[in-house]
Structure 1
Amino acid sequence: MNFAQLLFPDFSLILCGYLICRYTALNRSVWQQVDSLVYLFLFPVLLFRSIVKSPLDLEAASSLIGAGLSLGVCAIALSYSLPYWPILGKRLDKRDHAASAQVGFRFNSFIALALAERLAGPEGLLLISVLIGFCVPLFNIGAVWPMARHANTGFLRELARNPLIIATSSGLAFNLMGFSIPAWLDPSVSRIGAASLALGLMAAGAGMELRTLRQGKLLAMSVLMVKHLLLPLIALGMSKLFGLNAMQATVLLAFSALPTASTCYVLAARMGYNGPYVAGLVTLSTLSGMLSLPFALGVLR
């Protein structure tokens, strides 16, 4: 499989967003509004539709769900254990670590959905949607709790108003209750979802920023090592431990090697942390994904 060709459409949109933001009148202030539109409306609609549109057999998907949640717990534990590592821990700024640890386990759902459909068609799209549905609440809890604790803000309030948690939990509830989107409404919902993929990837490119990483290089290297090296290796072990079939293993490996969520810096900035530093980590993670995805899908698989 030609992974460069497979990944080119997504990374070309990221590059397009970067170039438009840097060299046209559509600068960062414009893309901040696009971020909000995608995060608060377009992407939740896409998640909801992806989960609702196909009947979900929890028994058949239980192994993949178990492997995904186990991978997520390992990722969160590794990311937050960094300050306790010998030698390394004493050199990390605790506040910056609280804001940037989320980079080590969150994932770019836009790339996940686009990639899964090209890898495995509609079935792959459903499997990655199931992983997103179960892992987004876990990862958002992992991301919000340390920052809420350090910033003394309401943890439950932050979770309750998170649009991704609302979309995934309601989508899972609708699916399991047997509801579906009416045929007359589905084309409109589908187009909203398509818009979220393109705009989300371009917004990720527009948010790329490297200058803020001149300080905190050790923290950046540690978090990205967890995200792009250790997680694919753990995913390989989980796929064997849970006895996943070939398609499920492929989806889990792709899931483990994804770039981090472009909304990491939005969450960090909104909660009063060093947003530009986290944006730099998101940039490096996006670039690292060009290596970790072929590594996971080509070498490990």
Structure 2
Amino acid sequence: MHPALVLLPDFLLILCGFALRRSGFISAAFLAEAERFIYFILFPPLLFRALAHATLDIAASVPMLAAGLLFTVAAFLLGSAAKPLFKLPQPSFAAGNQGAYRFNSYVAFAVMGALAGEPGIATIALLCGAMVPIVNLFAVWQLAHGSGRGMGHELIRNPIIWGISSGLAANLAGLAIPAPLFAAISHLADAALPLGLITVGAGLRFEALRRFAAPLLYWNGIKLLVAPLIALAAAQLLGISGLYRQALLVMSMLPTATSAYILAVRMQGDGKLAAAVVTSSTLAAMLTMPLLLSWLQ
């Protein structure tokens, strides 16, 4: 199936979320509670289910993890040039630069699930597990003006790390999970991605797009075009193939995480710019992801 058709249901759910919020059917208060519920209650079971019974070859995934680190660090460094280039104050720069290197996990798992099923989710979960501490380190460091304040707290309470760690532990220990319990976990997991994508759409904001057009174009160019090219070069250089290559390339072309806005607001960054980064990145990815997947595959 053409990648555009594979991705279409996911992007339709994002647009559905935007339409629901614009119509007034979803209130801001409900959206905040729904995002919290999905992130902390539904998302860990999705990752646990994908990893607990997966056939894993950690050693074989090392080149993929190295390539993920390479394009993430490169995107962070390239994005950091925006501060002198566009003469941005620190709170705006730190909030917006997340758009160059942070990734939307909801979209990651939805896309890999559509492309490769549970094995695809398990593979990209390994990559997410390696990248989440790194991108949080970068984001918190810049938002805290280099002090690193709050980084440990952000990592400890991150549900992606909970889900991946528990799933890996169960897998490596050969834990036999009772069927009724695993079925309950699966019910929660099944709800995570559709609801997550709807909240991504409901969170889209357009107020600051025109004001920050130049840096937004710069950061989105790095995230959605330059990073995939770096990932492709790394895959060829390191001989990454099959499902590992597919997960690496999907990870490199994801839009910016909606949590970039939450973190920016919590740490006194420029929330409006962070929202604009998330919005512009998500909308642009609806075009770039199908095109890049068609070309790269």
TM-score, normalised to structure 1, is 0.90
After TM superposition, give the deviation of residue 219 of structure 1 in Å: 1.8
Tell me the matched-pair count.
297
Structure 1 partner of 2:65: 65
Q: Is the 8 A contact 1:105 1:260 kept in 2?
A: yes
After TM superposition, give the deviation of residue 250 of structure 1 in Å: 2.2
Q: Is the 8 A contact 1:265 1:279 kept in 2?
A: yes
Deviations 1:109-137 (A, max 9, x none): 11211211221233222211211122122
Query: 1:52 and 2:52 equivalent?
Result: yes
Structure 1 partner of 2:30: 30
Q: Is the 8 A contact 1:31 1:203 kept in 2?
A: yes
Q: Is the 8 A contact 2:50 2:118 kept in 1?
A: no
SS in 1 for 2:143: helix
Question: One-letter code of the match for 1:232?
Answer: P
After TM superposition, give the deviation of residue 153 of structure 1 in Å: 4.1
* Change in 2 beyond 3 A, CA 1:222/1:120: same
TM-score, normalised to structure 2, is 0.91
Map 1:1-301 onto structure 2 (within 5 A).
1-84=1-84, 88-89=85-86, 91-149=87-145, 153-179=149-175, 181-301=177-297
Which ranges in structure 2 are unaligned for 5 or more consecutive residues?
A: none
The whole-number CA distance in structure 2 between the counterparts of 1:19 and 1:184 is 37
What's the C-alpha RMSD, in Å, of the aligned pairs?
A: 2.1
Q: Is the 8 A contact 2:123 2:247 kept in 1?
A: yes
After TM superposition, give the deviation of residue 220 of structure 1 in Å: 1.2
Question: One-letter code of the match for 2:233?
Answer: G
After TM superposition, give the deviation of residue 152 of structure 1 in Å: 8.0
- Percent identical among aligned pairs is 39
The whole-number CA distance in structure 2 between the counterparts of 1:12 and 1:6 is 11
The whole-number CA distance in structure 2 between the counterparts of 1:284 and 1:161 is 27
Deviations 1:185-220 (A, max 9, x none): 111111111211111100010010111223222221
Question: One-letter code of the match for 1:262?
Answer: T
Q: Is the 8 A contact 1:55 1:178 kept in 2?
A: no
The 10-residue stretch of structure 1 (251-260 or 267-276) with the greater mean CA deviation from structure 2: 267-276
Q: Is the 8 A contact 1:92 1:218 kept in 2?
A: no
The 10-residue stretch of structure 1 (213-222 or 152-161) with the greater mean CA deviation from structure 2: 152-161
After TM superposition, give the deviation of residue 183 of structure 1 in Å: 2.3
